[in-house]
Amino acid sequence: MSTRRRPVTVSERVMEYQESSDLVRLKVHGVLPDPNTETQIVILRDEQNADILPIWVGTTEGNAIRLAMEGHVTSRPMSHDLLRSFADHLNIKVSHVVVTDVKNNTYYAAIHLVSQGSEQTVDSRPSDAIALALRTNSPIYVTQDVLKRRGGGNLDAWLEKLGTKNLGKYPV
């Protein structure tokens, strides 16, 4: 008797997520510079604007996310454009991405890929997962646990202090 698990089909995975209230769908609402560091902050919000998840990323990663949000096409493909192109040519679909964990203020993510009716999961930095999701029009999720453990009680005050003037056309 084999202990190997069979691949999960796309329809089974969709049913799992529909039955699970553990995941919250998020949308990228903007990328803004952190005035205290040389990093950028990706602001993710749920559809009801009740939950906010800020994730600090490098300048390059923040710019890649911003370009995807704006629909800007560069003269030469960036890394995330290359990944999307590989996926397209190999008939692999990015079904969704999930921010799966946070440890010591470092977030972790997974990219869920579908090929030939089965799904594979690839570990990723959240910035790469978000940039790829935006380029493939794939949904972005976060676990309830990560939302509970994010930033702490001063998040709203911090966001208010940071202001929205740096966010341009993507209001926080």
DSSP 22: S
Low-confidence ranges of the chain (pLDDT < 70): 1-21, 151-172
- pLDDT value of residue 167: 46
- pLDDT value of residue 157: 59
Q: Which domains does the chain have, with CATH numbers?
A: 10-150 (3.10.690.10)
- pLDDT value of residue 19: 46
Q: What is the pTM of this model?
A: 0.79
Q: Determine whether 88 is exposed, middle or buried from the number of CB atoms within 10 Å of its CB (0-12, 13-18, 19+).
A: exposed
- pLDDT value of residue 169: 43
- What is each CA distance from 31 to 67, 81, 114, in whole angstroms? 10, 19, 28
- pLDDT value of residue 156: 59
- What is each CA distance from 93 to 23, 50, 60, 83, 88, in whole angstroms? 20, 30, 25, 11, 7
pLDDT (tens digit per residue) in 114-135: 999 899 999 999 999 999 999 9
- pLDDT value of residue 81: 85
- pLDDT value of residue 165: 41
Q: Which residue has the tokens 């005035």?
A: 35
